[in-house]
Structure 1
Amino acid sequence: MPPHSAPRREGKPGRARPPLERSRMSTPARPANRHHKRPRGEGQWALGYREPLNKNEENKKNDDGLNVRQRIIDVYSKRGFDSIDPADLRGRMRWYGLYTQRKPGIDGGKTAILEPEELDDRYFMLRIRIDGGQLDLNQLRVIAGISNDFGRGTADITDRQNVQLHWVEIESVPEIWERLEAVGLSTTEACGDTPRVILGCPLAGVDADEVIDGREQIREVYDRFIGDKAFSNLPRKFKSAISGCAAHCTVHEINDVAFVGVVNEAGEAGFDVWVGGGLSTNPMIGKRLGAFVRPDQVADVYGGVIGIFRDYGYRRLRHRARIKFLVNDWGAEKFRQILQDEYLGHALPDGPAPALADDTRRDHVGVRRQRDGKFYVGFAPKVGRVDGDTLAKIADLAEAHGSNRVAMTVEQKMVILDVPEERVESLVDGLDAIGLKVRPSTFRRQTMACTGIEYCKLAIVETKATATTLIHELENRLPDFEHPLTINVNGCPNSCARIQVADIGLKGQLVVDEKGEQVEGFQIHLGGSLGATPGFGRKVRGLKTTAEDLPDYVERVASNYAKQRSDDESFAAWVQRADEADLK
């Protein structure tokens, strides 16, 4: 079920209401200094520091990002790319999911050298947000049509349940919005310093092991806060998840805020709150606040957390502007106290921690029975790359087999829901015929890749094609390898593909090959994990590989693991005890 079933006018703050009916939520008053000891120089609004301390903050103060929508409709789409104000082009247009894509032919060595206007192509990446991950077939077909009509057939499923299109021209954007909004979809705040897409379990409402169905809470958070100008100028991006999935598929440990399904001592289903998770160049695991949140309290608590981020978040330096830095400095106890005292106006009861997941795979790939007796069928596109025609074929197959909805996972995979038992194998065969494996190899199932240098202006190396080649090579070389093994390929240090929490995390960089030439390659992180034993990957001194030698390296280390593992030992556990020679 989509997070909202009717089109919603974007950029209109009147629909959303703050968590407390008091003026400080839109214009924060200065609280007592006892609550925070950091210097005013961090640019925190709540401490009275409202003057912008960098160019990004100045642009946001000059004009709210949500205001760019009307300029796109009235001016830029009519006058073309050259009419776009640079502050809108490289700033505010992100508030509606639009980034200029990388100009073709610029190698990774120039990524950090060239000016933004030298990297910009005249085309855009457009990010469609899918809050909760679920789509009905009409919505899926609309995305497929937009992909073919305006995006040269491109479509990538991201690890945050979005769909990204490429080659979009500014002239086409108003019609794209009209088509999306007609079926209840949106690009509002899909990027920018905003509350971005809300992750949810793709099986919400049907999973037999589900702790609680979080779809209603996702809808309420979306309706109250997305497009509200009271929350459209945050220090940086804000990533969230609301899920009762027993497998913890929304990776709550690395979101800015996450609500995780739990059952308290009284037998009531509700949510445990985590704050301050995130990766990039300073990875941090989120912290539990230790509070039990009833389903009807989720939106208020979300509003309080995002309000704290807006008011107390660090705005001086962009690389320290994520909420994880504030949480790390304050600690969970202080964060909870300020949330309760200043934003909720009441205390939250203590609550239990989430139960640990038994399954090391969180992706929902395969065939399993739903609680209503029907089945879901999860399948694996290669590193999230599909196209408009493929999305249309998926919709046709789902409909022909009795389903009316699909879902995106946070592992760049897809699920068809509500399939009658007698139609499952026919659907599996139909998906296989178009290259979508329901029973894939470990390597296809558990390899992810970010956008990479093909389209991304921050990237240093190619990722999607490299990862696809890696999958093919490993399937041929290690056909009997069946152990869980995540391989995450990233084109730069920013970890969009979550390299630090992968079994094998690959951070793109330029390396020197045997001939002494600079070529595309990767720094290797080994043994990252979430769940019962969260931790970031181990970096072995000097452990790098060229892109060309990557299949040889992964084959070697995966084979060593398969030979040396004991019983059900995970790759991450093996890495901790393995000799360095076996990791190289």
Structure 2
Amino acid sequence: MSTADLPIGTRLRGRDELRFVRPYRRLGRLNEVERAKLARHPYEAIAAVVERYAAEGPEAIAGVPGEVERLKWAGIYPQRQGGNAFMVRVKVPGGRLRAEQAVELGLLAEAFAQGPEDHPVFGNAYADLTTRQDVQLHWVRIEDVPRLWRRLDAVGLTTVQACGDSARNVLCCPLAGADPEEVVDALPVAVAISDFFTGNRAYANLPRKFKMSVTGCREDCVRAEINDIALWPARSVAGELGFNLLVGGGLSDGERMAQDVDVFVAPGDAVEVCRAIAQLYGELGNREHRGLARMRYLVEELGPEGFRAELAARTSLRLAPAGEALTRRFRGDHVGIHPDRRPGRLLVGLCVPVGRLRGRELAEAGRLAAAYGDGTVRLGADQNLVLAGVPEERLEDLLAEPLLARCTPFPGPFSRGVVACTGTEFCRFAVVETKARALDLAQWLDEQCGPAVAELAEEVGPIRVHLSGCSASCAQPQIADVGLRGTAAHLGDQLVEGVDVGLGGTLGPRAGFVDWVDGGLPAQDLPEALARLVRLFLAERRPGEALWAWARRQPPARLRETLRAPDREEVRP
């Protein structure tokens, strides 16, 4: 079977690969993954799923060197359990699902994401919403992938390049086109960028993952500063509305805030600018040391002026200077009831704690979008979702729907702000369990401290607690009020699951990463430790001060002392 015989959602464009100059001159110094990609283009693994692996099983995958890595371009990862258990990630450009797409994803979860037994907290057959507006299905068998692809293709969805060293899902404000205060509707731009890169062989093999966001809203809800490329709203010197360009943001072990390179991008030029940056990164990015291969290291090496010059050399566009930045604050979510720009309509933001929905719940969200709203389910970068275009007179009926009893627009402040990655339940890199732990933690804190925090909701907002199972930062702990990173900890003579605790992260005008104030805190001590911290914050905060701002004023030693139980001997891993 040729790639032309694949479903449309997995068809691949272009046979000539872009000849990135720098890495291919020094073949002897390429890292192992680069050698695997050079020996066999990752798109060949996509075709092989249909041609061979679905029939022969996971053993056939293991028999091809480097194939597990290449399958990431198909959106497929092996689960921690090994064997015939895979995670499949579905791209949702701009976070926008049509109602029928949401219904089909829910049905796919029910059909293909059945684990061997029910999870004690979440049950079975569920879908995870991610911080990149993707949907992840677990426990998928390799023989079921071609059928899953065909059904995704029928509703216009794909898994191609949801993972791997390529352009990942393109983020956009979930309220695009419905936000009364947005500068420009950026969804068409985000979709155009996604369409250009998805399935494009010439730009598929980059040094590492390549993350982009584009938004016309003024509240930075898609976290511009931590993307490789970010387009956020601006007004040019000539008065045109469009975007300023930021580059080189990211988290993991070497977090960096994206830098302004003094470029204004008109909406019609966005695809070309992103293409030229991908070419720049492909040619100059580090393919020798994988730990230093993310674009942020290249931006740091070149500096803003040098990067701008290299970009100008790779496009026929005349790069205009940056305009007036129009972002005014960082908004972590869109949970709650808000006005839609369309008269008489409302935006209903639903809290999906830790981003996990059963398949039937996701399908039900699609049904509600069609029955009450504008027919769209909008995924946020906070693992929540929004129903848009709800008539005011139908709000009470919508609120009475059973799904909204669990996915409520009126959650407690900790349930609203909790974010968690996959953790040891499925991920081979995680060192602690995350989803159930984060959910339990948020619900317990809502009981203990929620009422006091809720009284100050307008000033304090939700308390954003992000739990990542390892240092890869999939839950983005560095930008949270409270960032938690999985590690090992000592409890007496026992080695137990623990967390590093960071405080004071946020984005927007006062962007800054957390300060890691404590390391190796046993996870069992975490609820009481955070309750002590929140109570101290509530007692000492200044008017209008959020937790992240209060934490920045405190000496790290004091914060660490607050977190550590006073009646237990301090131990470090």
Cα deviation for residue 255 of structure 1 reads: 0.2
Instruction: Flag the 1:353–1:559 CA change in 2: closer, same or farther, 3 A.
Output: farther
Runs of 4+ off more than 6 Å: none
Q: Which residue of 2 aligns with 1:311?
A: 283
Do residues 568 (structure 1) and 540 (structure 2) align?
Answer: no
Cα deviation for residue 534 of structure 1 reads: 1.4
Cα deviation for residue 479 of structure 1 reads: 3.0
Q: Distance in 2 between matches of 1:536 and 1:354?
A: 21
- Of the structure 1 ranges 86-95 and 191-200, higher mean CA displacement relative to structure 2 is found in 86-95
Q: Which residue of 1 aligns with 2:569?
A: none
Q: Distance in 1 between matches of 2:519 and 2:400?
A: 41
Q: Which residue of 2 aligns with 1:406?
A: 377
Q: Distance in 2 between matches of 1:27 and 1:293?
A: 26
Do residues 233 (structure 1) and 205 (structure 2) align?
Answer: yes
Q: Deviations over 1:418-471 (max 9, x none)?
A: 111111222123256541110111101111000000000000000001101101
Structure 1 counterpart SS, 2:349: strand
Q: Which residue of 1 aligns with 2:249?
A: 277
Q: Deviations over 1:177-202 (max 9, x none)?
A: 00001111000000011111000111
Query: Runs of 5+ in structure 2 lacking a partner?
Result: 1-6, 115-124, 455-459, 564-573
Contact kept? 1:450, 1:464, Cα under 8 Å = yes
Q: Distance in 2 between matches of 1:9 and 1:487?
A: 36
Contact kept? 2:237, 2:324, Cα under 8 Å = no
Q: Distance in 2 between matches of 1:278 and 1:433?
A: 34
Report the number of matched residues: 535
Q: Which residue of 2 aligns with 1:56?
A: 33
Q: Deviations over 1:236-284 (max 9, x none)?
A: 1000011111111110000000111212233211111110000000100
Structure 2 counterpart SS, 1:142: helix
- The CA RMSD over aligned residues, in Å, is 1.8
Pick the aligned partner of 1:335 from 288, 307, 327. Answer: 307
> Quick check: which one's helix share is greater?
2
Equivalent AA in structure 2 for residue 79 of structure 1: E
- Of the structure 1 ranges 428-437 and 371-380, higher mean CA displacement relative to structure 2 is found in 428-437
Cα deviation for residue 353 of structure 1 reads: 4.6
**Residue pairs, 1:366-445, within 5 angstroms:** 366-373=336-343, 374-430=345-401, 433-445=404-416
Instruction: Flag the 1:310–1:433 CA change in 2: closer, same or farther, 3 A.
Output: closer
Q: Deviations over 1:290-312 (max 9, x none)?
A: 11111111000000111111110
Q: Which residue of 2 aligns with 1:108?
A: none
Cα deviation for residue 70 of structure 1 reads: 1.6
Q: Deviations over 1:383-404 (max 9, x none)?
A: 1011101112222223332441
Pick the aligned partner of 1:510 from 479, 485, 488. Answer: 488
Instruction: Flag the 1:402–1:245 CA change in 2: closer, same or farther, 3 A.
Output: closer
Q: Distance in 2 between matches of 1:539 and 1:219?
A: 37
Q: TM-score, normalised by structure 1?
A: 0.88
Q: Distance in 2 between matches of 1:403 and 1:270?
A: 26
Contact kept? 2:244, 2:264, Cα under 8 Å = yes
Equivalent AA in structure 2 for residue 552 of structure 1: E
Contact kept? 2:249, 2:257, Cα under 8 Å = yes
Q: TM-score, normalised by structure 2?
A: 0.90
Q: Deviations over 1:205-259 (max 9, x none)?
A: 1111111111222222222221111111110100001111111111000000011
Q: Which residue of 1 aligns with 2:465?
A: 487
Q: Which residue of 1 aligns with 2:73?
A: 95
- Of the structure 1 ranges 394-403 and 229-238, higher mean CA displacement relative to structure 2 is found in 394-403
Do residues 253 (structure 1) and 253 (structure 2) align?
Answer: no
Q: Deviations over 1:541-560 (max 9, x none)?
A: x5442221111011111111
Q: Which residue of 1 aligns with 2:120?
A: none
Q: Distance in 1 between matches of 2:168 and 2:373?
A: 32
Q: Distance in 2 between matches of 1:343 and 1:11?
A: 27
Equivalent AA in structure 2 for residue 289 of structure 1: V
Equivalent AA in structure 1 for residue 189 of structure 2: Q
Do residues 288 (structure 1) and 265 (structure 2) align?
Answer: no
Equivalent AA in structure 2 for residue 67 of structure 1: E
Structure 2 counterpart SS, 1:209: coil
Contact kept? 1:64, 1:232, Cα under 8 Å = no
Q: Deviations over 1:93-135 (max 9, x none)?
A: 10011000002xxxxxxxxxxxxxxxx3421000000010011
**Residue pairs, 1:103-502, within 5 angstroms:** 103=81, 120-152=82-114, 153-340=125-312, 342-358=313-329, 360-373=330-343, 374-430=345-401, 433-480=404-451, 481-482=453-454, 483-484=460-461, 485-502=463-480
Q: Distance in 1 between matches of 2:303 and 2:186?
A: 27
Q: Distance in 1 between matches of 2:435 and 2:364?
A: 22
Q: Which residue of 2 aligns with 1:19?
A: none
Q: Distance in 1 between matches of 2:297 and 2:288?
A: 12
Instruction: Flag the 1:391–1:556 CA change in 2: closer, same or farther, 3 A.
Output: same
Instruction: Flag the 1:9–1:567 CA change in 2: closer, same or farther, 3 A.
Output: closer
Q: Distance in 2 between matches of 1:182 and 1:51?
A: 44
